[in-house]
Amino acid sequence: MSQPMMILVRPQMGENIGAAARAMLNFGLEGMRIVDPRDGWPNPKAVAMASGAGRLLDRAGVFPDVAAAVADCQYVFATTARPRELTKPVLTPEEAMAQARAMIAKGMKVGVLFGPERTGLENDDVALANAIITVPVNPEFASLNLAQCTLLTAYEWRRQTDGAIPVPEIDLATGIEVEKLGDHYEEVLDKAGFFFPETKAANMKLNLRSMWSRLALTRADVQTLHGMLRQIIRRQG
């Protein structure tokens, strides 16, 4: 992955998938992943709209959920215009793509999430991201369609050919490694009665998942946190 992977989450219209593919290829991006497309895949309307960018659709990976689509990524951006309860760094497309280019230059795998046309990304999707991309648009009319948002991000990627911001030499954990860490803690905390009362349990678990991704954990961090929890359980046993 010498480029960020553009991940379309539950896209609704084939035409928008095709338009996003064209926008990507305009600026030299060719890695597309599609999560649970509403009208199935392959989609002839997407192919027709993509025109000369059809090869992106031919190679696009299709995934059942966001967790699977970002499992091999070490850093994930989520695009959203709506305020979120989740605490995440918020960047412009320019800032995000400068950071992405620097990370990829270090050998890291980066993904960018784009939500479905009608509702955008859900909180469960954003919880799996490390940071948020928000375009500074007119607050009275902030909605961008899927292809427009993809184009703005791809443009900033192309523009960041030079002058990428430096990042330290770190070995960030992949999405699947962070997910397994979350599973481990959630299981133990559930047995300990942490998620109480039951009416608040779902939101508590969501906030915990968001916290793990926000920390941008290294592989060593993940191993240490697993080890700490195992030792606590061992001592209590």
- pLDDT tens for residues 16-27? 999 999 999 999
* Tens-place pLDDT, residues 38-85: 999 999 999 999 989 999 999 999 999 999 999 999 999 999 987 667
Task: Give the residue with greater pLDDT, 85 vs 115.
Answer: 115
Tokens of 188: 């133990």
What residue ranges do the domains of the chain occupy?
Answer: 5-159, 175-236
User: Given this model, what pLDDT does residue 167 score?
Assistant: 58
Mean pLDDT across the chain, nearest whole number?
92
> Contact at 8 Å (CB) between 133 and 153?
yes
User: Given this model, what pLDDT does residue 119 score?
Assistant: 85
Tokens of 222: 């993940």
Q: Residues 5-22: what's their mean pLDDT? A: 97
CATH number assigned to the domain covering 5-159: 3.40.1280.10
User: Given this model, what pLDDT does residue 160 score?
Assistant: 78
d(CA 31, CA 39): 21
Count, residues in the chain:
237
d(CA 28, CA 122): 28
pLDDT over 80 (residue 104): yes
